Amino acid sequence: MALDSAWSREWMRRAADVISENRAELGALDREIGDGDHGENLERGFHAVLEKIGALDGDATPGAVLKAAAMALVSTVGGASGPLYGTALLKAADAAGDAASLDSAAVVAVITAARDGVVLRGKAESGDKTMVDAWTPAVDAAGKASEAGKSPAEVLRAAADAAAAGAKATEPLVARKGRASYLGERAIGHRDPGAQSTSLLLAAAADAAEAGTGGAEAGAGAADASEAD
């Protein structure tokens, strides 16, 4: 099954829930190498996301839902998180375009665009101990799953699992970007909070897809790779 508006709305709902559930953990991770407000900021942002998408028409496309979420995050989340996640979702919305539903190739395009938005905004690359270290493995895993003929839900699960591993892999790294970079080797042993929240958000996307909220058959209005570019 391709993923439609119901999936994108459920993704944002589950994202808001998982961020709230993990607010304290994200804050603790951020206090170790940052200013400690990552969980609180994201919780506030995703509450705003739910209000924003709740005002959309019932037939809003996945791209429209992602764009509304992006605008909510940019306008309500301070620090680096708002611009980074806002840009990620805005680029993801551009990749989704006006398609009523997303097939596996389009899901890869959406995740890739989100990662590229983070790279563009944050000027970071893999190994810098940032959320890019979760996004890039997710993109790679999603691409391989799609090429293997996996369903959109399976593509998202592969991405989420890779993001979780990527987040864990930030622990031994020396930070080269952001506030954590001022700590030098003292950042070693601490997980990057942005990478951790990225893994949570992608897990929410996979959970929403596996819950059967996609609704649309893959051939019915699904975006192909060219539409999602």
CA atoms of 122 and 195, how far apart (whole Å): 13
With 80 as the cut, is the pLDDT of residue 177 above it? no
With 80 as the cut, is the pLDDT of residue 180 above it? no
Task: Give the tens place of pLDDT for each residue, 17-26.
Answer: 999 999 999 9
What is the average pLDDT score of the chain?
A: 88
| Amino acid residing at 203 | A
Range from 51-60, 83-92, 126-135, 181-190 carrying the lowest mean pLDDT = 181-190
Positive/negative CA dihedral, 156, 162, 166, 168: positive
| Model pLDDT, residue 127 | 82
37 vs 135, which has greater pLDDT? 135
Domains parsed from the chain with CATH numbers:
2-228 (1.25.40.340)
What pTM was computed for the model? 0.88
With 90 as the cut, is the pLDDT of residue 59 above it? no
CA atoms of 71 and 90, how far apart (whole Å): 8
Q: How many alpha carbons lie under 13 Å from residue 61 in its C-beta half-sphere? A: 17
